A and B are shown apart, each in its own frame.
Chain A
Amino acid sequence: MKAMREDLHVLTGSYALDAISDTEREEFERHLQHCPACEAEVRGMRETAARLALACAVTPPVRMEQQVLAATYRTRQLPPLPADRPRRAMPRLVPRVPRRLAMLAVAASVAAAVALGITQLTAQHQLDQARATAIARVVTASDAHVETARTSAGGSVTVVASVALREAVVSTSGMASLPSSRVYQVWVMSPSGARSAGLMHGSSLLASAVRPGDRIGITVEPADGTARPTTTPVAVLPV
């Protein structure tokens, strides 16, 4: 009996990836009802599988949207499940995450913030198409390289750079907001000095003429920006 249960438990992964037969699926789903640990594990794996799907997103043909939207007007929706069926209390497993992975988490979430930020800005027409294209070109370059660092002003900054294009996309997330008299200014720093890449008004900025060995720095400056950094950078990242 014990052997069978262990055997079933090993199926969590195959179940989450829909890699089991219908018969096994039914058997496993019965098992799930009595195994909160398995259910929690499956949940984490479903979320992981969703990330595999997000990684291969492709914009569908435009006609699909009209067809689906039209179909919703002809399709009756299911009512909610009766509320008198209490959901089993499921202990939430606290994932044990090694500390060294913390930075990866930051990198991942910031990269997602870049992506979402660009999506939203594009959607809201706050970002002109040319600039969106320029940013997308860097982020999708075959030699795109991602660096992330925490800043001393809170939050983090991510730099996606392409040596081939000599451009870098600088994005910030969660940094302290500044009084209106101050602004975050981005610098391309080389041994010969620092050159302004612009003021950080949104959540991302494109720096051009970036060379290997340069570093990207962010400082707090007067609202109109300055010609040279006047304060200690809140973050410096290699390109």
Chain B
Amino acid sequence: MRQLQSESPPPPDLAGLLGQVARGDHRAFELAYAELSGPVYGVVRQVLRDPAQSEEVAQEVLLEIWRTASRYDRARGSAAAWALTIAHRRAVDRVRSENACSRREQKAAEPEPAEDDVAETVAATLEHQRVRRCMDGLTGLQRESIKLAYYNGYSYPEVAKLLGVALGTVKTRIRDGLIRMRDCMEVTW
């Protein structure tokens, strides 16, 4: 995303913003917040489902981004991936730290469409279409494994149990599926 060319003004350079945030720049953090709060809240909510709990965890994540911005190293990946890794990990930690019984019964869900904000909706919908198109190119087992692991926050042994397949099979399907998704979405890294 950082490298796209457009005639409109270039998108804010998130990696550069994080550098400023690391030096205590509150204005830069506001700009980074504008870029990241939607995806952070979205992915946390996808995993946790409960809006109130999701809001609490998303706040923790965004504050963590402020706190640890100096640890972001652009040589090791995009700023968005760094931030969203923190977000997903936090959400999963929250799920695992409590026995969320009711949630366990839910089936793998499609990402929910974004709601209020027009631009956010447009961005998320386009990304959603691409993700869905690439998901369609996976085998059923690859697709289910990735959805259950990422969007529902299940561990691979839990995924194996839910799908009734061997542990090794799930590990392999998640890896193969992600490689296919990466190539299909032309992810650069």
Contacts and interface: CB of A to CB of B under 8 A. Distances in A.
Contact of A119 (B92, B119, B129, B176): B119
Interface in A120-156: 120-124, 129, 132-133, 135-136, 139-140, 144, 146, 155
Contact of A59 (B1, B38, B75, B178): B38
Nearest to A129: B118
B131 A72 contact: no
Interface in A1-54: 7, 10-14, 16-21, 40-41, 43-54
B186 interface: yes
Contact of B178 (A16, A79, A104, A105): A16
Contacts of B67: 75-78
B30 A173 contact: no
Contacts of A209: none
Interface string B111-147: 1111111111111111111111000000000000010
Nearest to B34: A123
Nearest to A60: B41
Interface SS of chain B: helix, strand, loop or mixed?
helix
B111 A55 contact: yes
A53 B42 contact: yes
A133 B118 contact: yes
Given A43-B76, A44-B189, A72-B66, A57 B155 contact: no
B182 to A, nearest CB: 4
A146 B114 CA distance: 20
Given A43-B76, A64-B41, A75-B66, A118 B122 contact: yes
A20 to B, nearest CB: 6
Contacts of A48: 178, 181-182, 185, 187
Contacts, number: 314
A173 B92 CA distance: 38
A65 B149 contact: no
A120 B119 CA distance: 9
Interface string B34-53: 10011111110110000000
Interface in B59-98: 59, 62-63, 66-71, 73, 75-78, 80-81, 84-85, 87-89, 92
Given A56-B111, A121-B8, A136 B122 contact: yes
A57 B4 contact: no
A77 B119 contact: no
B153 A72 contact: no
A173 B172 CA distance: 38
Interface string A89-128: 0000001011001001100111111111111111110000
A57 B55 contact: no
A58 interface: yes
Nearest to A113: B6
A230 B24 CA distance: 56
Interface residues of A, number: 89
B174 to A, nearest CB: 4
A98 B120 CA distance: 32
Interface in B1-55: 1, 3-9, 11, 22, 24, 26, 29-30, 33-34, 37-43, 45-46, 55
Nearest to A139: B122
B175 interface: yes
Contacts of B45: 56, 58
Nearest to A71: B63
A227 interface: no
Contacts of B186: 97, 101, 104-105, 108-109
A172 interface: yes
Contacts of A202: 7-8
Contacts of B43: 52-53, 56
Given A64-B59, A77-B67, A112-B4, 18 more contacts: A43-B76, A47-B189, A49-B81, A49-B88, A52-B150, A56-B39, A57-B39, A59-B37, A64-B55, A68-B33, A72-B29, A77-B24, A78-B70, A95-B188, A112-B1, A113-B6, A129-B118, A135-B122
